[in-house]
């Protein structure tokens, strides 16, 4: 992924990678960083998310897919195509139901179809890492993709967690700093808070940390400042 590459193109490429990788994966292979999930659970989850997001973009309630069992490649191919075709057909600037507007007064809502181009590209990015890693394959989309992923967590996903009352506002300011690019993000904190800690590491490890796929004791990550404060915020959850 490059900074100029449209998210819809990225999504298409990631979906194809995910679909072809399903064919090499044992459905019973564990995905340990996702609790008790197996590869089959991961595939069904991403298919359902694509199906749901397509309906959100159309501002409609999705038709339930049912409980299965499913033929995994067919299920994923169908739901991926539904999402891709929906997003391609809709005006990116058209209003849509999005995660930007949960808990926001109607007059202040601002979500558009364009939101789902990025959100679903990044959803697929994280689950591509899940799938490839579960079956022992490398997955290297490049630092730009992981930087985009961190940015979404810091500017959209974590603030939404706070807005919906799922987590508390951190008492202290925590900074995520990439070591392989000149980028940083300060998590939501009270205006008067000073920097409590900085977590520095490669963009991939920071993104995986934010999504609960990496641990703070990863040797590629370094914490300067109040480590306990960082652990507390991560344990509460930066993402759903």
Angle between helices 72-89 and 7-22 (to 10 degrees): 170
In the chain, domain spans? 7-141, 144-236
- What architecture does CATH give domain 144-236? 2-Layer Sandwich (3.30)
pLDDT tens digits for 84-100? Answer: 999 999 999 999 999 99
Q: Are strands 173-178 and 184-186 parallel, antiparallel or unpaired?
A: antiparallel
d(CA 5, CA 2): 5
28 pLDDT higher than 70? yes
For 58-90, b/e burial (b = at least 16 CB within 10 A) is beeeeeeeeeeebebeebbbbbbebbbebbeeb
Residue 173, strand partner residues: 195
Residue 195, strand partner residues: 173
Residues 169-189 have a mean pLDDT of 92
Question: What integer pLDDT is reported at residue 127 of this predicted model?
Answer: 98
194 pLDDT higher than 80? no
Of the pLDDT bands very low, low, confident and very high (cuts 50, 70, 90), residue 48 is very high
pLDDT tens digits for 126-138? Answer: 999 999 999 999 9
d(CA 26, CA 40): 8
Question: What integer pLDDT is reported at residue 189 of this predicted model?
Answer: 85
Residues 114-122 have a mean pLDDT of 98
- What architecture does CATH give domain 7-141? Up-down Bundle (1.20)
d(CA 113, CA 94): 6
Select, from the ranges 2-11, 13-22, 171-180, the one with the highest average predicted confidence (pLDDT).
13-22
Of the pLDDT bands very low, low, confident and very high (cuts 50, 70, 90), residue 120 is very high
The number of beta carbons lying within 10 Å of the beta carbon of residue 151 is 17
185 pLDDT higher than 70? yes
Question: What integer pLDDT is reported at residue 1 of this predicted model?
Answer: 53
Share of the chain above pLDDT 70, in %: 98
Q: What is the mean pLDDT of the chain?
A: 95
The answer to whether the CB of 51 falls within 8 A of the CB of 167 is no
Residue 199, strand partner residues: 176, 223
């Amino acid at each position: 992924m490059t900074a100029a590459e449209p998210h819809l193109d990225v999504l298409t490429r990631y979906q194809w990678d995910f679909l072809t990788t399903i064919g090499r994966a044992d459905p019973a292979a564990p995905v340990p960083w996702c609790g008790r999930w197996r590869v089959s659970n991961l595939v069904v989850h991403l298919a359902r998310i694509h199906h749901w997001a397509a309906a959100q973009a159309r501002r409609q309630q999705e038709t339930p897919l049912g409980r299965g069992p499913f033929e995994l490649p067919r299920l994923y191919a169908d739901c991926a195509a539904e999402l891709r075709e929906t997003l391609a057909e809709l005006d990116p600037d058209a209003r849509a139901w999005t995660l930007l507007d949960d808990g926001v007064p109607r007059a202040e809502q601002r979500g558009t179809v364009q939101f789902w181009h990025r959100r679903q590209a990044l959803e697929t990015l994280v689950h591509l890492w899940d799938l490839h890693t579960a079956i022992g394959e490398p997955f290297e989309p490049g630092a730009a993709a992981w930087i985009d992923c961190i940015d979404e967590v810091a500017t959209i996903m974590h603030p939404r967690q706070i807005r919906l009352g799922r987590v508390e506002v951190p008492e202290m300011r925590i900074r995520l700093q990439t070591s392989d690019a000149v980028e940083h993000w300060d998590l939501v904190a009270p205006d008067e808070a000073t920097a409590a800690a900085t977590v520095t590491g490669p963009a991939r490890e920071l993104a995986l940390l934010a999504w609960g796929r990496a641990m703070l004791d990863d040797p590629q990550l370094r914490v300067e400042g109040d480590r306990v404060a960082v652990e507390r915020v991560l344990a509460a959850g930066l993402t759903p």
